[in-house]
Amino acid sequence: MFMQQVRWICAAPWLLLAAVTAGLADAARLNKGGGLQVRSAAVVNRGAEQPPRWEPLQADVATIIGLSGHADTSIQLLDTCDVVSDGPICFSERKAALLPPAVPPGLIGHWSFDERSAFDSSGSMNHGGTEFYHGPSPAGSGHSAIFHKNFMMVPNSRAFQAEDFSYSFWVYLSPYTGLADESPRWCPLLRKGVYVAQAQEFANAPAILFSFRTGHVRASITTNTSSRGDGEFVDSNARLVAGRWAHIAVVHHAKRGSLLIYMNGILDSTTRTRGKLVLNDYPLYIGGDPFTASQCEHMIFMDELRAYARAVSPHEIQAEAAPALGGLDPSFVHLGCLSCSLEEAIRSCPTGRAICSSLELHTGGYQVARSLGWLDAGTHVWTEAAVMKGRQQPSDNTVGPPLKGLGLCCAA
């Protein structure tokens, strides 16, 4: 194992952990006149050799690194570090260690927004190049990113050049003080591309937008058959509700030609694309973009943004979004139709599911429908009892137009 040779300068041993985790600059402030000296030469630890020894040095002999002031610029740059190790860092007589985070297959970007800068913890080095403000997180620990007439930019890299992709994140819409009718029709939550209508320059790979007028979410991609505007897109049935955290995931299957939107872990809407995705070399804009920053005045909070160079499976999305439903299984209920007749509601349920019973609705169905914006005040909801009654009463005996209602499907 290769290790950096590090020597103490009049500092207590416990400062090593503080130096690694909190930054060398902060660790140096804990002990006045103390710091760390990192020698560029690497040493090899073979077999059962003893671990490197910490030797005291005189401060006037060593070169101090990680001090406050202008010397801290290396900490602000995410592509440089004060201490670099190719393996785990052991401490406390090897009873504990600092290890890199586990990375699931295909993860090309993970921005938790807990750090001072937009650090990509996936190991792909796709760090954000712009600053942002911190806000509360949905889990109550850590931080989220606040975007209000601003955005975060991640430079393009080869990792983003994948026809199969998935993006997932938590989002919170701050209540809007202006008039909803005066807001733009669509504002970006993220965009990998460019959107300049005056120059007829459009590229989305992808773009995830939301409408404050309706609360709906749109996923769009530019294809070789539709290269203008939003290209080919799908709109969600669910609606983002201001003042409430929601989990959004967008998945693209290149071979299947499908574009899917998951809301709170539930497959909400899908479409079949006619053309092939057109990749681009533009940056990834998060929280907004420079093309709509002056028009989109809504404040949003975003947290735990993940980007994959593969189509993430449904159970992975359900596991990630599980807290959004308060303990309910995301597969408990499936959206059949928003406003349909009883016959249409029955046909809308996939194989293995049927219209929910009144008990199933009261034990979770209504909660899911309300959290996703499927259920409004006065909405009629079809039940299993209505299905049984409809089979006994022929439809030609119905007087007036057929009743429209919400069709929710539960496990049969």
pLDDT score of 184: 65
pLDDT bin (cut points 50, 70, 90) of residue 115 is confident
CA distance 145 to 136: 8
pLDDT of 88 over the 90 cut: no
What mean pLDDT, rounded, does the chain reach?
A: 79
pLDDT tens by residue, 160-204: 999 999 999 999 998 876 655 555 689 999 999 999 888 888 999
The reported pLDDT for the residue numbered 73 is 31
Is the separation of the CB atoms in 159 and 126 below 8 Å? yes
Q: What is the pLDDT of residues 365-380, one digit of tens each?
A: 999 998 898 988 888 9
Q: Three-state SS across 171-206?
A: EEECCCCCCHHHCCCCEEEEEEEEEECCCCEEEEEE
Phi, psi of 345 (to 5 degrees): -65, -40
Please state which CATH number belongs to domain 107-325: 2.60.120.200
Local structure of 137: helix, strand or coil = coil
Q: What percent of the chain has pLDDT over 90?
A: 47
* pTM (predicted TM-score): 0.75
In what order do the strands lie in the sheet containing 217-221?
Answer: 152-154, 284-286, 187-196, 201-210, 217-221, 232-235
DSSP letter for 264, please: T
Domain range annotation of the chain: 2-98, 107-325, 333-411
**Residue 18 above 60 pLDDT?**
no
